[in-house]
A and B are shown apart, each in its own frame.
Chain A
Amino acid sequence: MSTQTTHPATEAAAPRLTRRQRARLSLGVQYALGIAVIGLLAFMTDWATFSAAFLRFDILERMLPRVILIGLVNTIIYAALAFIFAFVVGLLLAVMRLSSVAAYRWFAGAYVEFFRGVPALVVLFMVAYGIPNAFPGFQFPGDKYGMVMVGLGITAAAYMAETFRAGIQAVPKGQLEAARTLGMSHTRTMATIVIPQAFRVVIPPLTNEMILLVKDSSLVYVLGVTAAQYELTKFAQDFLNRSVNATPLIVAALCYLAITLPLSGLVRRLEARYAKAR
């Protein structure tokens, strides 16, 4: 990419251009090429066909408002439920992983390694079909919603456990010692001193975890959901089958971005704020 090089041979080959001039020339060439490619594509594209394939407003009109009220809302609900499950279990696993009891450490370590290494889809299947078979008569509370909460949450918990662990370990040892010196028990120290400080560190990675869960919620369709339980991807797919047009996918993509972009913005803001507070 760059023509900036300190190699003596090339230095000698172009003796009349300074390094900065060559860098500018290279940049100019890259821009020119880019504009040419875009221009060519624009010229070759039949815009009527293109928009007919990706942006048909009549289809958009038919999707509204249910794409929001059902698709978007269910996506948020699935992701939020899984996040809550993963948050609680992940925090518990992180504390276990740092425990002085070897059995806890071993269990938490095995959990993390197992569920990080297995695809989320497989875990979701195992929960949805394995648990009802293994425990006949067991019903997930909230039916599909409970199933998704556990099925997606189990995998996310493994990742969050590692995030929490890193956050807890980022709290200086002196904090722990000061709290113990004041007579706080280990549990009390964790709850009032260490974990609140760890949260500052883990909020950005946790938000990223939330974004991943929003996208993972697209796996839920494999459970055979009813129309009222559709999330964005299944909802769009349904329309895709009927309209044979990509517009529903674009609409779904925009809806996903409507959730994830604000979350990314939040991460950036929080990172900037904690960077200053340090």
Chain B
Amino acid sequence: MPTQPIPAPGSHAISIRNLKKSFGSNEVLKDISLEIEPGEVVCIIGPSGSGKSTLLRCVNLLEVPTSGTVLVGPDEVTHPDADLDRIRRRIGMVFQSFNLFPHLTVLENLTVAQIKVLKRRKEDAIATARLNLHRVGMSHKEDAYPGQLSGGQQQRVAIARSLSMEPQLMLFDEPTSALDPELVGEVLAVMKSLANEGMTMVIVTHEMAFAREVADRVVFMDGGYIVEQGLALEVIGNPQEERTQSFLHRVLNPMVIDAAEVIEAEELSTA
């Protein structure tokens, strides 16, 4: 805790300005600007391939932006001399595929970075780890290996692993997309309680009910742009842009299949 610098007053938790990212000739992010305040919960929604993951991964520089700036608290992540390892400690990240370390037990998954990166004493690391396992309801599995856990349990452990670093903000990239439907609830419940505790969270998700209930703000992305953003209830309940409307229509009514879309899909598959 004492190693974490106090953010300058008035600074944003995340500040993204004119961010662009290309993979070769494929421009995936086209001029994104977005600010996220401390304690805010923001859900990013949008169709597949719209650049949601890429945007999230540019925040902790898992992807290097082509241009633009990203600030996390007072630190410019995109500065060439930025100490990324130091900045990343303060940004938790939860992946769709959990990415727990399979050769380590649950407890070791939570302590390894505390000990090696934060240089905490082993006893302190274990105490912090146990506290966070308790938070996600996984205390009973501290000696298990990830392979012995269900997907939902693995994702809760992954969240606890991030929390053990005592991050200032957390990024979630479709944390429930790889889960069987009956396991989604337990992970969302953990995330909801985190939101209630005041954690700053940016969540890429397809769970509209969750977004509507938990998010302070919803950002809709399409084709590398932010098309629309605002209060969760407004964006999901009363979208203004046509692209948002048709996306939400498809997501919220998966059984209603548009005849035009079927024809389009058939043309694509035969092409």
A interface list, Cβ under 8 A from B? 172, 174-175, 177-185, 188, 192-193, 196-197, 200, 277
Contacts and interface: CB of A to CB of B under 8 A. Distances in A.
B95 interface: yes
A182 B86 CA distance: 9
A181 B102 CA distance: 17
B156 to A, nearest CB: 15
A188 B85 CA distance: 11
A102 to B, nearest CB: 18
Given A192-B112, A197-B103, A183 B86 contact: yes
B84 to A, nearest CB: 8
Interface string B88-112: 1101110101011111000000001
A200 B103 contact: yes
B244 interface: no
A197 B102 contact: yes
B229 interface: no
Contacts of B144: none
A182 B163 CA distance: 10
A175 B85 contact: no
Contacts of B97: 172, 174
B189 interface: no
Contacts of B116: 184, 188, 192
Give the contact-size bracket for chain B. 20 to 34
A182 B99 contact: no
A276 B1 CA distance: 41
B184 interface: no
A183 B165 contact: yes
B62 interface: yes
A174 B88 contact: no
Nearest to B164: A182
B199 to A, nearest CB: 16
Contacts of B62: 177, 180-181
A140 B220 CA distance: 68
A174 B95 contact: yes
B113 A184 contact: yes
B75 to A, nearest CB: 13
A94 B89 CA distance: 28
B161 interface: yes
B147 interface: yes
B117 to A, nearest CB: 4
Q: Sorted from nearest, which 10 A-B pairs have the closest CB atoms?
A: A183-B89, A182-B113, A178-B99, A174-B99, A181-B93, A183-B117, A183-B88, A183-B85, A196-B103, A197-B103
Contacts of B85: 180, 183-185
Given A188-B117, A197-B103, A182 B95 contact: no
A182 B103 CA distance: 17
B173 to A, nearest CB: 10
A182 B102 contact: no
A177 B162 CA distance: 13
B101 A175 contact: yes
A175 B89 contact: no
Contacts of B91: 181
A194 to B, nearest CB: 10
Contacts of A196: 103
B200 interface: no
B143 to A, nearest CB: 16
Contacts of A179: 101, 113
B205 interface: no
B69 interface: no
A175 B161 contact: no
B168 interface: no
Nearest to B93: A181
Given A183-B85, A184-B117, A177 B101 contact: no
A13 B28 CA distance: 65
A196 B99 CA distance: 15
Contacts of A188: 116-117
Contact of A181 (B88, B103, B147): B88
A148 to B, nearest CB: 34
A239 B162 CA distance: 67
Q: Among A178, A181, A185, A193, which residue has the most Cβ atoms of chain B within 10 A?
A: A181
Contacts of A197: 101-103
B24 to A, nearest CB: 18
A196 B108 CA distance: 14
B80 to A, nearest CB: 16
Contacts of B95: 174, 177-178
A179 B93 CA distance: 10
A183 B113 contact: yes
A89 B153 CA distance: 40
Interface string B142-173: 00000100000000001001100100000000
Contacts of B147: 277
